[in-house]
A and B are shown apart, each in its own frame.
Chain A
Amino acid sequence: MSWNELLSAALIGTDRRPITFALLDPLRTLVPGEETAGPHRVLDAAAAMTVVRRAGHSAIHGVKVPPPAPDESGLPVPPPAAARLRGLLTETEHRYHAEQQHAALLLEWLGLAAAYGLRVPGYLLPDLLEHARTRAEVRPLAAAVGGQRAYWLAGLRPEWAWVRGESAPDGSEESWYDGTVAERTAYLDALRMWRPDRARDLLAEAWPDEPPAGRTALMATLATGLGPEDEAFCEAALDDRRKEVRTIAAQLLGALPGSAYQRRMSARALECVRVGHGGELLVTPPSTCDSAMRRDGIEVKPPHGTGERSWWLAEIVQRTPLPTWTAALGGEPASLLARSVAVEWRATLHRAWVEATVAQRDSAWAAAFVDADFGRGPNAEALDALLAMSLYEVLSAEDVVSLTIAALEDNPKHLQYLVAACPRPWPEPLCSAVLEALRSPMSRSVRQEICAQAALAMPPHHAADVRRVVEALRADEPDHDWPYLDEIARTLTLRHEMHQEFA
């Protein structure tokens, strides 16, 4: 009687398939009874065989072990630092600020380990690699501190292949001819990096037969390695049937220095804005949107609530290279901003300039805007939070720090975003300016945001200074609570300990 015979009897049921034990079946001694067996004997035999099979389980023999990870040359992080990393990787935070802080601390920890040239112990690597897998900013550091072990693990699991500096295969020219839109786009994108002309020729060759749906994504690949040789193709694409393609072509031409498109746009812009006899700016927005303007991507219909002429003015100014203004109207960005403008066009013109500054990443113009007290003065309404954040990111590292220190004294709108744009760790003067500013009145949300920034951006040895500030405030106003400052002190202390754990 084999297990399979028992099993098939049990499956079908002994009513329909009674089983018979052979005379010499060893099970007969274990499960005595008649030869023809009912359900009780099937179960008794099953029990006996199960116990025998479990007790007699034999190992799988002759299994080969693949090559182990090579020996490490670097030293591991000290045990307290490893324990800290384990905490950072396994404890999850759900509140927004806590989560942001958590991610920043993890990044700081990895930066410290990389700076000391130490490696993460093996058992923490799977959690670290999983964390880094979806976070591009963590990946290089994770790979740097992972040592040989991470490299070895990456060979076992395709999701971690990035540790080895391998990305998804770029494919061959075949994928250009036979691939899906996504594959063809990826191929073209990769080719643009090292042979932009070849990529554009391939695109131009395929273009006439290209279905409209694929054109948009393929057109966008030209942004990589964009150069003067691409101008003719882009210029032609301004007449494409598909609006998305035309929009991309206009953007590409607008970003191409010296293009005919830029010259056309500059000419239109200078027709709209001139310098008057008193040095003021005279604004004459276009009265129509002609076909040439439409071809260059200017939207005819303004959004609801915006006047047509004001809209066309903004569309032109946004697309105009900023050097056009300094060259044609004379002076630095700051002096242009200081010139008076008729009140009805002022906000439109300045906001369009800010948009152009962000799009063209012009740090001199950005500094001029922030310096001109743009967040608070009469132009404040032109600058919403999102635009402010983008504008501050364009500032150069020196400018952003000195402008922030100046701004902290008079607490303008969007101060928190300016603080957030400062490079980390904060230089000493900025630290003292922030600590000083936190003593003065400030809106709750701005204070909270600045404290969250300070906790992560100040060098950790400031923990004691912050505690002194808190103590001083407590002494002045014993009834008032200073939870944000306490929070900075706590986080700085934590970071200070985190740094010490590497020593």
Chain B
Amino acid sequence: MEALAPDASSLSSARALASGVNWSEANHARGAPPTLWGLCRGSGAKPYQTCVDLVEPAYKCSCPSRKFPCKHALGLLLLWSAGSVVETDAADAPEWVREWHAGRAGRAATREARKATERGETTPAQERAAQRRAAQRADRVNAGLAELDRWLLDQVRGGIAGLDRVGYRHFDQMAARLVDSQAPGAAGDVRRLAGVAASGAGWPGRMLADLGLLRLLTGAYRRIADLPEPLAATVRGRVGFTVPTEQVLAAPPVRDEWQVIGVRDEFDERLVTRRSWLIGRGTCRPALVLSFAMPGQPLAADLVVGTAVDADLCFYPGAQPLRAVAAHRHDAPQPFTEPSPSAGVEAALTGYADAVAGDPWLTQWPVLVRGTLVRGSQWQLVDAAGDALPLHPAAGEPWRLLAAGGGHPTVLAGEWGPAGLRPLTCFVDGEAVRA
């Protein structure tokens, strides 16, 4: 519930509202879709009409707040989670609730129809223009990556020993040229090299590894026509070609009970990226759902850690499919006690090794390990066999997770990568505790 709030002040306002005295009416109907609605007393004479669709979730309120969801919607959710709303039949919902549902269904249908026409009605001229644009872009990317290749070789020819003193510009200039060449993925990798150069002891090894993997990318892109299609898609994705959502949604969906095991937000100066890690209870497949927002804007909060949703996921193409979008939800999310399947350290490492075999550039991989956090100069996650994974130095000291487990084995979800394990969530006594 807290995860849905756009900020802390909305949440405290919502807490203040989440008591019966503020609501002249508060109802829940199981129907399709399961819905909450209520009337909340505000400063005006007319109460606010607040309505929540629990599947998406989606919100509607007649208040003038620009926050989304507003405190009234959050308050109604809190009221519902406290069990203080009236169970009602969907047929008894007031007119304004039914209108809202009808309006949403109508808009969704229009969107679908528009997409269908866009797909169907391309003229031969449009087709040719699209091909021309694609060819132009391919040329630019080729030129940009060729230049990157020369730049990489120059670094090693002259020696990388001084790269920790050349400053950000050295990398940013190359990155900017890659942006101009429409290869934003490679550009981001190059820009991040500046951070690697400044990462302290052991940086040359990390730098050489990243330079080598960039060289692997330029080489792979040069031979892309010879690569099997899934690997070619991985390479295109790393270079920075985007896959249109319609194309992703056209892939065969994977239906499962998708458990949200961890969420982490990454902050960039221009963009906040929310990475939600999922694991299918039946398929055991991991999935990564990304959402983006400008700094200060609320992020999508439909995937809540500790809940599972019966949904169809469509995966982006690649040799090790991981990123996915939710195509269709069959039911509202349900909380789970403990995610499965969890494994020991060895099995988690084997899983990562298999994934790297598919995508050699993969640096963030979800693991679900049953083990104990052990504190030290370097914190570790230790399983029953005494095998341990070191924690990522940037992960800090996860006291909250240690306190939750109390030194007993628990199921812990984290991101594993070359620098170590970033713990995200631990599951204790039915509670999903976030780091």
Contact = CB atoms under 8 A, between A and B. Distances in A.
Interface of A: 3, 6-7, 9-16, 38-40, 42-51, 54-69, 80, 86-87, 90-93, 121-127, 149, 152-153, 156-157, 467, 490, 493-494, 497
Given A54-B356, A60-B380, A66-B374, A149 B403 contact: yes
Given A12-B161, A13-B159, A91-B8, A50 B407 contact: no
Contact of A65 (B153, B382, B390): B382
Nearest to A56: B353
Contacts of B155: 39
B428 interface: yes
**Residue of B360, B374, B390 with most partner-chain A CB within 10 A:** B360
**Residue of A42, A55, A56 with most partner-chain B CB within 10 A:** A55
B105 interface: no
Contact of B153 (A40, A87, A126): A40
Given A11-B161, A43-B153, A87-B11, A68 B408 contact: yes
Given A54-B418, A55-B357, A60 B11 contact: no
**Residue of A10, A59, A87, A121 with most partner-chain B CB within 10 A:** A59
Interface string B399-410: 111111111100
B157 A14 contact: yes
Contacts of A56: 353
A39 B403 contact: no
Interface SS of chain B: helix, strand, loop or mixed?
Answer: helix
A44 B372 CA distance: 39
B31 to A, nearest CB: 28
A67 B374 CA distance: 10
A7 B204 contact: yes
A298 B206 CA distance: 72
Interface SS of chain A: helix, strand, loop or mixed?
Answer: helix
B406 A69 contact: yes
A66 B205 contact: no
B377 to A, nearest CB: 13
Contacts of B64: none
Given A62-B386, A124-B403, 19 more contacts: A3-B205, A12-B159, A13-B156, A39-B153, A39-B157, A43-B215, A44-B212, A46-B208, A51-B356, A55-B353, A55-B356, A66-B374, A66-B407, A67-B407, A68-B407, A127-B400, A153-B403, A493-B21, A494-B16
A484 to B, nearest CB: 15
Nearest to B373: A65
Given A11-B159, A67-B407, A149-B403, A59 B12 contact: no
Which 3 pairs show the lowest CB-CB distances between chains A and B?
A13-B159, A46-B212, A68-B407
B387 interface: yes
A153 B382 CA distance: 18
Contacts of A15: 157-159
A66 B428 CA distance: 19
30 contacts: A6-B208, A7-B205, A7-B208, A10-B156, A10-B160, A13-B157, A15-B158, A39-B157, A40-B215, A43-B152, A50-B209, A51-B216, A54-B353, A57-B349, A57-B352, A59-B345, A59-B388, A60-B387, A63-B380, A65-B386, A69-B408, A87-B11, A91-B12, A92-B8, A123-B403, A123-B433, A149-B403, A153-B403, A494-B16, A494-B19
A59 B345 CA distance: 7
**Residue of A91, A124, A153 with most partner-chain B CB within 10 A:** A91
B211 interface: yes
Contacts of A69: 406-408
A43 B212 contact: yes
B431 interface: yes
A445 B435 CA distance: 43
B406 A149 contact: yes
B82 interface: yes
B213 interface: yes
B191 interface: no
Interface in B344-401: 345-346, 349, 352-353, 356-357, 360, 372, 374-375, 380, 382, 386-390, 399-401
**Residue of A68, A123, A497 with most partner-chain B CB within 10 A:** A123
Nearest to B382: A63
Contact of B352 (A42, A48, A55, A65): A55
B219 interface: yes
A87 B12 contact: yes
Contact of A10 (B159, B357, B401, B429): B159
Interface string B1-26: 01000001101100110010100000
Interface of B: 2, 8-9, 11-12, 15-16, 19, 21, 82, 152-161, 204-205, 208-209, 211-213, 215-216, 219, 345-346, 349, 352-353, 356-357, 360, 372, 374-375, 380, 382, 386-390, 399-408, 418, 428-429, 431, 433
Nearest to A43: B215
Contacts of A67: 407
A43 B218 CA distance: 11
A46 B211 contact: yes
Contacts of B406: 68-69, 122, 149, 152
Contacts of B390: 60
B216 A47 contact: yes
A87 B161 CA distance: 49
A80 B82 contact: yes
Contact of B403 (A59, A91, A122): A122
A178 B418 CA distance: 50
B183 to A, nearest CB: 18
A60 B204 contact: no
A13 B160 CA distance: 7
A47 B407 contact: no
A42 B159 CA distance: 11
Contacts of A16: 159
Contacts of A62: 386
Contacts of A43: 152-153, 156, 211-212, 215
Contacts of A493: 19, 21
A467 B433 CA distance: 38
Contacts of A490: 16
**Residue of A15, A38, A65 with most partner-chain B CB within 10 A:** A65
Contacts of B360: 47, 51
Contact of A59 (B154, B158, B387, B431): B387
A49 B208 CA distance: 10
B400 A123 contact: yes
A395 to B, nearest CB: 34
Contacts of B349: 57-59
Given A51-B360, A54-B418, A55-B352, A497 B19 contact: yes
A244 B123 CA distance: 95
Contacts of A467: 21
Nearest to B5: A91
B357 A126 contact: no
A63 B408 contact: no
